[in-house]
Structure 1
Amino acid sequence: MKGRGKTEDGGGGARWLTTFNDMMTLLMVFFVLLFSMARTDITKLKQFQVSIMKGLGVLEKGEGAAFGLIESFGDKGQYKATVKGRLIPEGEELIEDYMKSLEAFNNVEFQLRGNDRVLVLDGAALFESGSADISPEAVPFLKKILKIIQASSCPVRVEGHTDNVPISTEKFPSNWELSTTRAVNIVRFFCERGNIAPERLSAVGYGELRPLASNDTAEGRARNRRVEIILIESEEE
């Protein structure tokens, strides 16, 4: 008799837990629907859903779940799919295709810094030594990069970098002026050739202050003479 009583108590506890889980699931759906009635920021909705799912223990084994509910809200034309919980903006597949078309070039390197995509361009392929004028040979290459920018809608920052070999001319008193002018000229190229909105673009020059390699070797100095084009997809604080 005692054994049967324990079994019945255990069964009652399990039934209570099932009812509780059903109630919490309904509450989650209810709050998501309320949240969506306002003008929804898709990123905030994602964060909201993650917090709810964590609270229910849905993501206890990791955050690799697909966020299917998110795709039911907001501007459906803005996002196409989710991959490993990351929202994929419409047009990104086209961007990836354009990036693959650049793989044949030896003067470009692709990096991913957080959510930002970075194209590291060999400075020697863009400019003559000591010059900030874009070489004619670089124009077809920059046009391919321009297609990537046109296919996206995120802000783009162009950074100029040099090695530590000093320069002192009337036009470029230091590497700061040289690197900044190079970045500005590429931004101007994107605006004039691609009709990119100027407010999407920014230019900055770091001179020799942010090297990727040691300046003690010719190979290191060549690597440091570069232009970085950054597609900024990380959230601004």
Structure 2
Amino acid sequence: MKRKKKHEDHVDESWLIPYADILTLLLALFIVLFAASEVDNEKFEKISDAFNSELQGGTGVLEHEAAVENFEDTSPIPKIGEANPSDGEQNEISQEQDQKELKKLQEKIEAYIEDRGLAPRLQTELINKGLLLKIKEGVLYASGSADISRESRTTAVEISNLLVTDPPREILIEGHTDNVPATSEQFPSNWELSSARAINFMKILLENKELDPKKFSATGYGEYQPIASNVTPTGRAENRRVSVLISNYPQSK
């Protein structure tokens, strides 16, 4: 009789033990690295000592020099009496300087207005958003028109020279009308009329190559932002205007 040799298939699983040890060590390493990002250097050194002692007899894997970099502000604390303004105080100083510069610009524009005899058809006003230059309708446009006359173009060009600042400021051109409806074919409503006036005026300003077009914008408000009553002719004349807002410089946060 032939003896049947009994075969038993046994998979060699001896590799699982070192593999499991490696996984355990890697997991421990990642846990330590994660914990190190949340703790201070002293705690990290204690953890380092413990793992080095257990894993490699206190050497190699986690040396103390590898502690997480300290990103805290190490600048010296000022002594009593030394100036160390907070961000808010720095902003206030910057705003104060900005207002001084706008005041000088206002005085320059006012001198131009007086020299040209344009008061009160041109007026300036310092507001929260910056310096506002208000130009009455008759200075630039005929009634119901968005075309700027040759004489008015000269005024616009001279105004453009006054708007050159270093660094450039944001400039917003605003067109406004009274509440009398615009009914022409070209301007069927006051929206079109106010917008066209603002854009046409802006185009002339930007013929000055010292001005940055990226700093300019134009918008029309129609009759919806009056500065006087539309009941009287005088009030309506006040409302028919183009405004040039010379903005404050942005403040750092």
The question of a shared fold, defined as TM-score above 0.5 by the shorter chain, is answered with yes
CA contact (8 A) 1:161 1:225 kept: yes
Q: Cα distance, 1:148 vs. partner?
A: 1.5
The equivalent residue for 1:125 is: 139
* Mapping 1:90-101, distance limit 5 Å: 93=104, 96-101=107-112
Aligned partner of residue 86 in structure 1, secondary structure = helix
Aligned partner of residue 210 in structure 1, secondary structure = coil
The equivalent residue for 1:147 is: 161
Answering whether residue 130 of structure 2 is matched by residue 102 of structure 1, we say no
Equivalent position amino acid for 2:111 in 1: K
Equivalent position amino acid for 1:220 in 2: G
The equivalent residue for 1:164 is: 179
Q: Cα distance, 1:46 vs. partner?
A: 5.8
CA contact (8 A) 1:146 1:194 kept: no
* Mapping 1:1-237, distance limit 5 Å: 23-26=79-82, 28-29=83-84, 47-49=88-90, 86-88=96-98, 93=104, 96-103=107-114, 104-106=117-119, 107-151=121-165, 153-233=168-248, 235=250
Equivalent position amino acid for 2:108 in 1: D
CA contact (8 A) 1:157 1:202 kept: yes
Equivalent position amino acid for 2:88 in 1: Q
Provide the C-alpha distance between the structure 2 equivalents of 1:220 and 1:170, rounded to a whole number of angstroms.
26
Provide the C-alpha distance between the structure 2 equivalents of 1:125 and 1:175, rounded to a whole number of angstroms.
19
Q: Cα distance, 1:135 vs. partner?
A: 1.4
Provide the identity percentage. 34
CA contact (8 A) 2:161 2:208 kept: no
Change (3 A) 1:197 1:23: closer
Structure 2 spans left out of the alignment, 5+ residues: 1-77
Change (3 A) 1:49 1:175: closer
* Count of equivalent residues: 170
CA contact (8 A) 1:102 1:144 kept: no
**219-228 or 147-156: bigger deviation:** 147-156
- The normalised TM-score by structure 2 is 0.59
Q: Cα distance, 1:97 vs. partner?
A: 2.3
Provide the C-alpha distance between the structure 1 equivalents of 2:229 and 2:100, rounded to a whole number of angstroms.
40
Change (3 A) 1:88 1:113: closer
CA contact (8 A) 2:106 2:131 kept: no
More strand by share: 1
